[in-house]
Amino acid sequence: MANNIVKTEFDGLNIPYSPEAEQAVLGAIIYEPDCFGRVTEILPRPEYFHMSMHRLIYSTMLSMYTQGRSIDFVTLYEELKHERNFDPTEGKTYMAALVENCPSISNVEVYADLVRSKFEGRQLMNTGKRIIEDVTSGQHDPALLVDAAEQMIYDIRQGKSIQGLERIESVIIKTFDRLDALNKDDDALKPMASGIGEIDRITTGLNRSDLIILAARPGMGKTSFALNIARNVALKSKKTVAFFSLEMTKDQLVSRLLSAEALVGGTKLRTGKLSDEEWQRIISAGDVLSKCDMYLDDTPGISVPAMKAKLRRLKNIDLVVIDYLQLMTTGRHTDNRVQEISEITRNLKVLAKELSVPVICLSQLSRASEKRAEDHRPQISDLRDSGSIEQDADIILFLYREAYYDKNKVIGGDTSEVDQNSAECLIAKNRHGETGTVKLHWQGEFMRFTSPELGREA
């Protein structure tokens, strides 16, 4: 079988293309429809075919397959006759030739692999042209161009390079596959547990492709809360977690994780004044945490493209945590911070979708909550810098501790001390269902949140 290189209208470039392989795939399916399921795993969309006639035939096959209809010469021909770009007379002759000239039904997967490889070659050429155009324009930062080029090539390898409209039939197939996998208790598709039961109940867990904003005033415990979730996902669920800290160093993050795991005060870890028993607890905690598949990055002012480039080098990433939004940059100089934050949140949502992982991004709140006399609990309007945070987020969580604002309050005419350990997680937005408030217990000495009932983790 020849591996043809043909001329096309695109700047006279030689485009990789194998007409024989495309014809052999279609002919094999018409002759033996049972092989179609194996072919769709290799060629999920019509765009893998170069010839417009082949794309039309394969698209019709996909439609019939989705509807559960049988595919053979007669049924396919009758369906194609309804297509505007199909000539019944010439088309019938061409379909007969596809079946007659198919070399071997048993090799259909080999032919499909060849069609796919030629498609990827065309995609690689188009990507190269785009990279050359971007570089020669001189309008982009070279560092960003490197990240963009790496992303485009990565997308080709992952089969994500096709852009545009997709027929509902192919989406339905994916949905049925996902539901079937969930029915079979496939953990790969289920939302991950954050380890905080009531939050998981309300939000259904950490859903893949979700952008989750965790916001609070400085000092409220955002980083500790995020580390608690990261630890639960990595240790209890055995998932891979990437934690980007734009404020704290990796050493500081690990100290907090050790403090929470060993129940040794953070002050002692900073001073190094530990008893023998505390040393043993720290060593044991280190042994437990070292088995976690967790990666830490403390690059200051990191951009989303740079973050994405690092994540691509990890395999099977399950959760991304970013601390925090207002310290991120786009990599370009701009005087409009609102516009910059809007671009960052949009790119974070795209990142979550492309990698199919939940992204938890911490965010600061404005001082508006402190100015409210009656109730300091945060509201969505308190989010700093941009309304796009609310728009792009699938879930918005607020952390709140009454003791943060006032150590004493009047209850029934008496001045009573506020519970220093009482905390709340306010679920202010939930694209998947209800909102609500979850009670928590704050252990400031160990930098961790637990359930209100002391003695068991949240």
Active-site positions?
A: 247
Cross-strand pairs, 438 = 425
Alpha-carbon Rg of the chain, whole angstroms?
28
Question: Which residues, 6 or more positions from 303, have their beta carbon under 8 angstroms from its beta carbon?
Answer: 144, 147, 328, 329, 330, 331
With 0-12 CB in 10 A as exposed, 13-18 as middle and 19+ as buried, what is 260? Answer: buried
Checking phi first, is residue 196 left (phi over 0); if not, alpha (psi -120 to 50) or beta?
Answer: beta
Helix (H, G, I), strand (E, B) or coil at 190: coil
Give the Cα separation of 5 and 120 in Å (integer): 14
Total Cβ atoms within 10 A of residue 297: 17
Could you tell me which of 381, 396, 388 has the C-alpha nearest to residue 436? 396
Q: Which amino acid type is present at position 142?
A: P
Q: What is the DSSP annotation of 106-135?
A: GGHHHHHHHHHHHHHHHHHHHHHHHHHHHH
- 297: part of which helix (H) or strand (E)? strand 294-297
- Measured between alpha carbons, how far is residue 71 from residues 27, 77, 108, 167 in Å? 12, 9, 16, 18
CA gap 429, 406 in Å, rounded: 27
Cβ-based neighbours of 338, under 8 Å, separated by 6 or more: 385, 386
251 Cβ contact list (under 8 Å, min separation 6):
none
94 preceded by a cis bond (ω within 30 of 0): no
